[in-house]
């Protein structure tokens, strides 16, 4: 350990898992000068690739506690991350604003109260009669949709973000290993991680960013870590109604709990469901399109043009996410459930600080 402290920057850190959390951690740590290796055998089939990329931070209604602190920090960190990533992909952007809508009068009253209690320039009530609300009501053939707008929140394309992070990580000389880790153990101040092919990777620190599977690599009973799988699903719907122009809707919004992203005049994405299972359900179209008392005909008659899902890990018995320094140089960063894309900047900052403290 003494040697490691003296040679701070020479420490080798193994990041297990290459979803959004693993990639952000690897990048943050590589900026500090460490030698980083990311290991993952199926980085294209994870929950991060399924994400809709909504960054719902500022419109989060609980303005205290750990969850709000993480969101707040992430909102503050995102602009710098974006600037850095745009050096590698100048088309990567955060589309703003984000709109939250409801047809439930009680819920709207709560939203109104929240806005009135938070004199935040970036949050506003969408008044009845405003062009945005008129357009939304017209497209959804109703009169009772109301909501709020946040000019600080928005959406980033998750797949494009992950691809850009890969280019950036390569540029920062982060090593990538296409392997699955089946065991980790400590031996003489070093961590030995064994791959499915029986290769041993030695590192000074291990950061577990492998979502649900993190519990397979630690003594989860001893550390009292429990994670549950929660399936999230999304569909791309193609409509066939010349009278409806989906581009007259806002770029991204949530209505009665469903996230909607219009892609073109006749295509939109709807997500996501919350199921305590790992298998996609059959009637996904019905589940995702029923968010109003009366579903408009253009939506009922639409067809699924794409469908995808991802398994999110939700902590059982404690709030999301789980960020813990388990034992000497073994750090856990998992259980991001619905907000991994939003929270990645704040969590990687937390991990970097833990490692700096551990090594200093
Ligand atoms: C449909 C859907 C919509 C969503 N929308 C949003 C949204 O709008 N905004 C938002 O912020 N979040 C959203 N999320 C949530 C977000 O996707 C997750 O919170 C986030 O992806 C969690 O990232 P992760 O890196 O922890 O996990 P993952 O992306 O699942 O990555 C974990 C990685 O670990 C690897 N791994 C596992 N075990 C091992 C092992 N033993 N060895 C090596 N590698 C291993 C896996 O292969 C995987 O690549 C959405 C999720 C879904 C499914």
Which of 19, 252, 331 has most ligand 1 atoms within 8 Å of CB, for mutation?
19
Q: 261: Cβ below 6 Å to ligand 1?
A: no
Q: 333: Cβ below 6 Å to ligand 1?
A: no
Q: Compute the distance from residue 340 Cα to the ligand 1 centre, in Å.
A: 7
Shortest-distance atom of ligand 1 to CA 22: 25
Cα of first residue to Cα of last residue in the chain, in angstroms, is 10
Q: Are 251 and 261 in contact (CB under 8 A)?
A: yes
Q: 57: Cβ below 6 Å to ligand 1?
A: no
Q: Compute the distance from residue 290 Cα to the ligand 1 centre, in Å.
A: 26
Q: For position 303, what pLDDT does the model report?
A: 97
Report the relative pairing of strands 98-102 and 253-255 from DSSP bridges.
parallel
Q: 174: Cβ below 6 Å to ligand 1?
A: no
- pTM value is 0.96
- Residue 297: Cβ within 10 Å count: 12
Q: 272: Cβ below 6 Å to ligand 1?
A: yes
Nearest CA to ligand 1 atom 3: 51
Q: For position 10, what pLDDT does the model report?
A: 82
Q: 42: Cβ below 6 Å to ligand 1?
A: yes
Q: Compute the distance from residue 49 Cα to the ligand 1 centre, in Å.
A: 7
Q: For position 81, what pLDDT does the model report?
A: 98
Tens of pLDDT along the chain (360 residues)?
Answer: 555 656 666 899 999 999 999 999 999 999 999 999 999 999 989 999 999 999 999 999 999 999 999 999 999 999 999 999 999 999 999 999 999 999 999 999 999 999 999 988 799 999 888 999 999 999 999 999 999 999 999 999 999 999 999 999 999 999 999 999 999 999 988 999 999 999 999 999 999 999 999 999 999 999 999 999 999 999 999 999 999 999 999 999 999 999 999 999 999 999 987 777 777 777 899 999 999 999 999 999 999 999 999 999 999 999 999 999 999 899 999 999 999 999 999 999 999 999 999 998
Q: How far apart are CA 275 and CA 288, in angstroms?
A: 12
Strand positions, DSSP E, the chain: 12-16, 35-39, 54-55, 98-102, 123-126, 146-150, 154-155, 175-177, 181-187, 190-195, 200-203, 205-208, 227-238, 253-255, 258-264, 267-271, 303-315, 322-327, 330-334
Shortest-distance atom of ligand 1 to CA 233: 1
Q: 157: Cβ below 6 Å to ligand 1?
A: no
């Amino acid at each position: 350990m003494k040697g490691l402290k003296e040679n701070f920057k020479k420490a080798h850190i193994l990041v297990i898992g290459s979803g959004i959390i693993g990639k952000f951690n690897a990048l943050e740590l590589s900026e500090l000068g460490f030698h980083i290796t990311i290991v993952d055998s199926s980085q294209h089939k994870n929950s991060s690739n399924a994400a809709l990329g909504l960054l719902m931070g500022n419109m989060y209604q609980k303005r205290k506690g750990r969850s709000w602190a993480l969101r707040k920090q992430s909102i503050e960190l995102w602009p710098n991350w974006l600037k850095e990533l745009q050096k590698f992909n100048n088309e990567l952007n955060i589309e703003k604003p984000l709109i939250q809508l409801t047809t439930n009068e009680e819920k709207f009253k709560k939203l109104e109260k929240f806005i009135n209690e938070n004199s935040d320039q970036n949050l506003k009530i969408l008044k009845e009669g405003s062009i945005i609300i008129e357009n939304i009501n017209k497209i959804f053939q109703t009169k009772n949709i109301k909501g709020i707008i946040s000019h600080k929140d928005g959406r980033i394309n998750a797949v494009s973000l992950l691809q850009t992070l890969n280019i950036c990580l390569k540029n920062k000389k982060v090593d990538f290993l296409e392997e699955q880790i089946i065991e980790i153990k400590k031996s003489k101040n070093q961590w030995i991680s064994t791959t499915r092919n029986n290769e041993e990777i030695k590192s000074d620190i291990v950061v577990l960013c492998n979502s649900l599977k993190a519990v397979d690599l630690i003594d989860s009973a001893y550390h009292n870590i429990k994670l549950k799988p929660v399936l999230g699903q999304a569909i791309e719907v193609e409509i066939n109604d010349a009278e409806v122009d989906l581009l007259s809707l806002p770029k991204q919004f949530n209505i009665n709990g469903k996230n909607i992203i219009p892609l073109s005049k006749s295509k939109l994405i709807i997500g996501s469901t919350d199921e305590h299972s790992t298998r996609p359900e059959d009637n996904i179209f019905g589940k995702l399109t029923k968010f109003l008392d009366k579903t408009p005909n253009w939506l009922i008659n639409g067809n699924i043009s794409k469908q995808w899902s991802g398994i999110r890990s939700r902590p059982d018995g404690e709030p999301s996410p789980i960020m813990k320094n388990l034992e000497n140089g073994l750090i856990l960063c998992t259980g991001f459930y619905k907000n991994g894309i939003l929270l990645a900047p704040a969590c990687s900052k937390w991990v970097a600080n833990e490692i700096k403290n551990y090594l200093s």
